[in-house]
Structure 1
């Protein structure tokens, strides 16, 4: 394509020279991004009491079962990641296995899923910050300034280099998991309310009517774990690092969630925990840590819930930026969004665009006098969560389809058995989530129907969009997710000076 004189040389130079920073992330760094996106402290303090209320003392096993399901999915997912090495992650996998129309639909679905998971959480940030300020200082603050301040803070974090984000997330993740470990230590040292019990593992307590609801909550708690593949271009030895980070994240989350929920059961006792969860679900974990550790620890938990939300926001923001970067490089999104900062090596224009989109959504909900938790969080998060689960399902289906068409040396366990089993399990998980959608949203049937349909509708809209690309922009359509070789750039003057 020719370059016109209206294109300034200084505008073209950074995009021609700068790339994402390769070799920046190790296994632990990528795992920090993934686990931080899941927000373990927020999930435990905010959602686990509801799982206990609905599923009883067998709730911890629900998190183990969800973790096992996603570990099965990870087998085929990480195997395919060794063969499909582009930056598009989910949509690249789905394109290779199910064709370009499905892949383009998946790309739109990924944008909905990750943006929904992040933007909605600005409502949670406002709600959690207000609760923390009220609990610690008795102050009541409006929610809009908190959300907007969060947008600016996260935007800056995404603008900086990826290793800066990894270090920051590492600190925040240690803080939020540390406070839960402190609670666990206090409960174990004091022997719980009535002595430690393993009754939570008994089949009679696991297979109860409320288990389906527990599983729905549990699967939602892992949302975002698959984003390990998004960081392939910045990973050290991605063929090893990405699979290790994926298994590490799934294993840690499954075991840690189950352990912490079991600790909560022990803190109140097998016969009292359901009553405690029903009486004060929002304050259940604060009551437990005050009893077993002290009021100062409850104050820290309030603070760390806010930092947990910030960590989740930054992790999803970085994931969104890299999806947008990949789609800009494909030509599906405006190519300007593919510009990379010459110093920080971040997709900064994609980050700015995402921050602006987040501000528009937040301001729209504020103008409509919506509640930051009940509407902004739940109504925006829910389509995002369903969208990411649908992407996981499509990716699981794509794995055996891909390996059936190419020559490879992988075993059938990784390329057929595990992906097919994962397909069945993930489809079941989606049915459970949709069947209990009212527990996630608290909304009317009409609103719930719209929230559930948003993700499949966006995917289906990708099919006519793919047809339009094929007719109007055939070069974009034909090169979609084909992984062209990326040239190694020369250092920019800024980098040389450093």
Structure 2
């Protein structure tokens, strides 16, 4: 008798781990986006300069910037329902304007987001120096602080995305809470000389200095568009991503305008411009000391540091997901697309980004550069301009995309809003470019170099597209799809 042994079935190899899907709700995504903007840092560190240049009409500049970006979001979110890849900006641009523009946009996104994050390690070092000196009278070197920050941010990105969302939620509540505390003190005491709505009078808004205010205001929203990067990890992304985008724009626009108005009321319409010009770095600290108490000023110093950390973590997560998408496309090496089996995070992309940040930080330190005036401003500025250029290209891509597909979206969302947003964003980029010296404090030569980075990177991306089409046609064919 022949005995046939039963076949042992071999289990199919398990699929490689992917990102943790269905994890992020609307509030989680909004926390990432608003934290990237660093509201407390923007208000305490930049708004006084906007007031000194634009006068009491400065709050209206932040409202106008918010309205412009809300118009941009109309077409942007309409397209997000039809382009579902992880490439966000570059996928939209590739689908609307063609693959060469998309590859140029991909390179620009990587440089832009890295510039926005890596420069902020200089701010982390200088802000921590200021906080320690203010609270304890001690002086600490900035480099160890920045390096410790690199490790902390790497760990936050290494952990699961819901861990990062919880951390950012706590930090965002802290930084906005201290500004709300200031607002409560000013409103309860009626300001320095009563409460005034002169900030919104046309005569105070339509002044030459408003152009500079608008440049600062648009810069303050940088990173709000990163909602779509988290699409693969979102719950019901067709609803949560657009909601988070509108919440982020509305919150930032209204909160910025309200907080700047509060700062003006704390000194009075007649005195605030001089106060902001004489000592911009301490305008908010003086206001909260006067209307709340010295203990609140100490808390504000601490929360500025945590605000910077929140911004770094938010940008780090965004960069990792862009790198993951490009590795999936075959543009970056495949090993960068590895996902951690437990935390479901793009941990190799995070490690690569951290190493790049360390190299840049150490390079500026070795050159004897100032962490704020050079590492922050010189690295951030081309990053900011790069992201604004991406917004412009994405707005321009929307009507071209919808012309080529069958859809049920209205003409307002697919043509009118994107065209209006394109014009307004072009104006915004022009304002930032013509006032770039206010952002950098650098020489004309340095400013020209910084302005040239974004267009040079985009052109380099076009050259990369030409090379991919010739040498790797399969990779080129599937790019952006």
Q: TM-score range by the shorter chain?
A: over 0.9
**Kindly tell me: are residues 219 and 15 of structure 1, through their superposed partners in 2, closer, same or farther at Cα, counting changes over 3 Å?**
farther
Structure 1 residue 14: Cα displacement: 11
Alignment correspondent of 1:19: 18
Alignment correspondent of 1:420: 419
Q: Kindly indicate whether residue 155 of structure 2 is the aligned counterpart of residue 161 of structure 1.
A: no
Structure 1 residue 17: Cα displacement: 2.2
1:92-132 CA distances to partner (integer Å, 9 max, x unpaired)?
00000000000000000000110000000000000000000
What are the equivalent positions in structure 2 for 1:54-93 lying under 5 Å apart?
54-93=53-92
Alignment correspondent of 2:7: none
Unmatched segments (≥5 aa) in structure 2 = 1-11
How many Å separate the matches in 2 of 1:115 and 1:188?
Answer: 39
1:22-59 CA distances to partner (integer Å, 9 max, x unpaired)?
01000000000000000000000000000000000000
Alignment correspondent of 2:225: 226
Alignment correspondent of 1:279: 278
Alignment correspondent of 1:320: 319
Structure 1 SS opposite 2:281: coil
How many Å separate the matches in 2 of 1:362 and 1:278?
Answer: 31
Q: Kindly indicate whether residue 303 of structure 2 is the aligned counterpart of residue 299 of structure 1.
A: no
Structure 1 SS opposite 2:394: helix
Structure 1 residue 481: Cα displacement: 1.3
Alignment correspondent of 2:238: 239
Give the root-mean-square deviation of aligned CA atoms.
0.9
Q: Kindly indicate whether residue 403 of structure 2 is the aligned counterpart of residue 409 of structure 1.
A: no
Q: Kindly indicate whether residue 39 of structure 2 is the aligned counterpart of residue 40 of structure 1.
A: yes
Alignment correspondent of 1:268: 267
**Kindly tell me: are residues 112 and 14 of structure 1, through their superposed partners in 2, closer, same or farther at Cα, counting changes over 3 Å?**
farther
Structure 1 residue 198: Cα displacement: 0.5
Structure 1 residue 464: Cα displacement: 1.2
Alignment correspondent of 1:332: 331
Structure 1 residue 226: Cα displacement: 0.0
Structure 2 SS opposite 1:120: helix
Structure 1 residue 312: Cα displacement: 0.1
**Kindly tell me: are residues 269 and 336 of structure 1, through their superposed partners in 2, closer, same or farther at Cα, counting changes over 3 Å?**
same
Structure 1 residue 305: Cα displacement: 0.0
Q: Kindly indicate whether residue 182 of structure 2 is the aligned counterpart of residue 145 of structure 1.
A: no
How many Å separate the matches in 2 of 1:143 and 1:263?
Answer: 32
Q: Kindly indicate whether residue 475 of structure 2 is the aligned counterpart of residue 471 of structure 1.
A: no
How many Å separate the matches in 1 of 2:147 and 2:473?
Answer: 40
For the Cα contact (< 8 Å) 1:120–1:376, is it kept in 2? Answer: yes
Structure 1 residue 238: Cα displacement: 0.1
Alignment correspondent of 2:352: 353
Q: Kindly indicate whether residue 353 of structure 2 is the aligned counterpart of residue 387 of structure 1.
A: no
How many Å separate the matches in 2 of 1:262 and 1:428?
Answer: 25
For the Cα contact (< 8 Å) 1:14–1:340, is it kept in 2? Answer: no
For the Cα contact (< 8 Å) 1:15–1:340, is it kept in 2? Answer: no
How many Å separate the matches in 1 of 2:192 and 2:365?
Answer: 43
Alignment correspondent of 1:374: 373
Structure 2 SS opposite 1:343: coil
How many Å separate the matches in 2 of 1:391 and 1:324?
Answer: 16
How many Å separate the matches in 2 of 1:156 and 1:197?
Answer: 46
Alignment correspondent of 2:443: 444
More displaced stretch, 458-467 vs 385-394: 458-467
Alignment correspondent of 1:486: none
Structure 2 SS opposite 1:406: coil
For the Cα contact (< 8 Å) 1:66–1:254, is it kept in 2? Answer: yes
Structure 1 residue 15: Cα displacement: 9.6
1:348-399 CA distances to partner (integer Å, 9 max, x unpaired)?
0000000000000000000000000000000000000000000000000000
How many Å separate the matches in 2 of 1:16 and 1:425?
Answer: 45
Structure 1 residue 458: Cα displacement: 0.2
How many Å separate the matches in 2 of 1:199 and 1:472?
Answer: 62
For the Cα contact (< 8 Å) 1:93–1:398, is it kept in 2? Answer: yes
1:438-462 CA distances to partner (integer Å, 9 max, x unpaired)?
0000000000000001011000111
**Count of aligned residue pairs for this structure pair:** 470
Alignment correspondent of 1:179: 178
1:48-100 CA distances to partner (integer Å, 9 max, x unpaired)?
00000000000000000000000000000000000000000000000000000
How many Å separate the matches in 1 of 2:63 and 2:126?
Answer: 29
Alignment correspondent of 2:310: 311
Deviating 4+ runs (over 3 angstroms): 13-16
How many Å separate the matches in 2 of 1:314 and 1:448?
Answer: 28
How many Å separate the matches in 2 of 1:63 and 1:470?
Answer: 43
Structure 1 SS opposite 2:442: coil
1:241-293 CA distances to partner (integer Å, 9 max, x unpaired)?
00000000000000000000000000000000001101110000000000000
Structure 2 SS opposite 1:17: coil
For the Cα contact (< 8 Å) 1:61–1:206, is it kept in 2? Answer: yes
Alignment correspondent of 2:432: 433
Structure 2 SS opposite 1:282: helix
Structure 1 residue 16: Cα displacement: 3.8
Unmatched segments (≥5 aa) in structure 1 = 1-12, 483-498
Structure 1 SS opposite 2:280: coil
How many Å separate the matches in 2 of 1:421 and 1:152?
Answer: 42
How many Å separate the matches in 2 of 1:215 and 1:295?
Answer: 32
